[in-house]
Structure 1
Amino acid sequence: MQKKYQAIVIGSTGLVGKALVNQLCQDERYESITCLVRAPLANVDYHDPMQKIKALVIDFDALQDYQGYFSVDHVYCCLGTTLKSAGSKRAFRRVDFEFVHVCAQLARAQRAKSFVWISSLGADAKSKNFYLRVKGELENAILTMPQLSNAAAVRPPLLDGVRKEHRPGEAFALKVLKILGPIMKGPLEKYRPVRPAQVAHQMIGLQVF
């Protein structure tokens, strides 16, 4: 009999998070998907005919209190915000570094088989760009964490998807990159916008089965 896997998804309401949960629902290898969320999930966003999703509304400032839920095979972390949405560099770092780092620590404590999270193309701890520097610092912190089995980060470029919040700068960049797409080849190909489903698929592919 084929082994069935259990997963936990942190950040299941964003572009990649939704795509990921929907793909996990259709993946016969998984029997349950626990989603830690700030607010109840909108059922219309998810196709879950086998009723695999178990959503739990939590206080992210007290992530440690939910350590037991990380006792699964695979941990997926799709948490992320923007400087504008966060309101300050400190608040941004709280979400994009501290929360994700705590999730990695909890995955290690519960001996999850693997931990996969979303970083960013260009992540570099020495970058002058604050966003990329935080992402790079997080990669260094997680990938050097002792006794954390099979940790891996995906580094997507700009995401091509419909967001609830309006991001004018991102929308403009996306429009330009779509126009330039056909000539972005070779070293430039990695900068082409990607669909959230592509990132989700990559994340699943990085897990250990």
Structure 2
Amino acid sequence: MKMRSALIVGGTGLVGSNLVKLLCDSEEYISVTVIARRSLAFAHPKLIVKVRSFDELEENDIEFADELFCCLGTTQKKAGTREAFEKVDVEYPLHIASLAKKSGIMHAIIITAMGSNEKSPFYYNRVKGKLEKELIALELSQLSIVRPSLLLGDRQEFRLGEKMGEWALAIFNPLLVGPLNKYRPIEADQLALAMKVIALFGKKSPVAIYESAELNWLKMPEPKKENPLLSEDEELFNWDKLKPEELIPLDEEVVFNKEKLKSFSVNQESK
């Protein structure tokens, strides 16, 4: 597999920070560029951080990469107003995706949410559904939409609503089986891993949607063994088995006979 480059937007959040570390430590990626509103505490030789205002992003800020990972997202409470919320969750991702298309990035992997639907009775899901519709309309070369359920992990900020959801799901999680399995929460590091798997081995259709239940079990495939015909304990040749006492002695009749050679030489001279 060729070495890859990644562009991550939203690398300081819960999922984005996990994704940055994962890709930097990955053998498949040779460079990871992050566009963020503030610097990162994490550092790595592969990592390039561009501190930018998302209101002022220009075409030359988005350089070519194999994949764009968009992890932007906020809450209406933190944003303050619906307009500010939609700017972060819709306008910024759309603008970044359009710039990525111009720069030649072939694959965009973008987080929305479980239940995204522009006709949903819930405002949050309507906003995410609007984002998905507009992203699809951009006609990117390849678009992967990931729809996680409630995200679990250590956030830098405290979100009361999400904490209450975590406590409730901790109680009811064992009951979420069968059709209810899709409502199981997902760890942020697992979502980051799932996004990496999608980048490397995901569906090749122009638009692919990954629901939370699928994201929860996506893993990197096991590496192939160099010689599948041999077990781990076998060797091509075991030299220890070749012991001196096991060497077969030469047959005495086959040993070279010098007397016969003399006799042959005499007969030849007499002719």
Tell me, yes or no, whether TM beats 0.5: yes
TM-score (norm 1): 0.92
Paired AA for residue 128 in structure 2: K
Q: Which runs of 5+ in 2 are unaligned?
A: 202-271
Whether contact under 8 Å (2:8, 2:35) holds in the other structure is yes
1:126 and 1:67, CA in 2 relative to 1: closer, same or farther beyond 3 A?
A: farther
Q: Which has the higher relative contact order, 1 or 2, with Cα contacts under 8 A spaced 6 or more apart?
A: 1
Q: How many residues align?
A: 201
> Which residue of structure 2 aligns with residue 126 of structure 1?
119
Whether contact under 8 Å (2:9, 2:35) holds in the other structure is yes
For 1:208 and 1:177, the matched residues in 2 are separated by 31
For 1:188 and 1:19, the matched residues in 2 are separated by 27
Shift in Å at residue 102 of structure 1? Answer: 0.7
Shift in Å at residue 66 of structure 1? Answer: 4.6
Paired AA for residue 76 in structure 2: L
The sequence identity of aligned pairs, in percent, is 40
> Which residue of structure 2 aligns with residue 200 of structure 1?
192
| Residues 93-104 of structure 1: pairs in structure 2 closer than 5 A | 93-104=86-97
> Which residue of structure 1 aligns with residue 47 of structure 2?
53
SS of residue in 2 equivalent to 1:206? helix
Does the alignment pair 1:184 with 2:189? no
Q: Which runs of 5+ in 1 are unaligned?
A: none
> Which residue of structure 2 aligns with residue 87 of structure 1?
80
Paired AA for residue 97 in structure 2: A
Q: 1:166 aligns with which of 120, 140, 158?
A: 158
Q: CA RMSD in A?
A: 1.4
Following TM superposition, the consecutive aligned residue runs of length 4 or more in structure 1 with deviations greater than 6 angstroms are none
For 1:101 and 1:78, the matched residues in 2 are separated by 12
Paired AA for residue 92 in structure 1: F
Whether contact under 8 Å (2:9, 2:36) holds in the other structure is yes
Deviation per residue, 1:151-197 (Å, 9 max, x gap):
11110000111212221121111111111111110111111111001
Structure whose CA Rg is larger: 2
| Residues 26-45 of structure 1: pairs in structure 2 closer than 5 A | 26-43=25-42
Q: 1:139 aligns with which of 111, 132, 151?
A: 132
Does the alignment pair 1:21 with 2:20? yes
Paired AA for residue 60 in structure 1: F
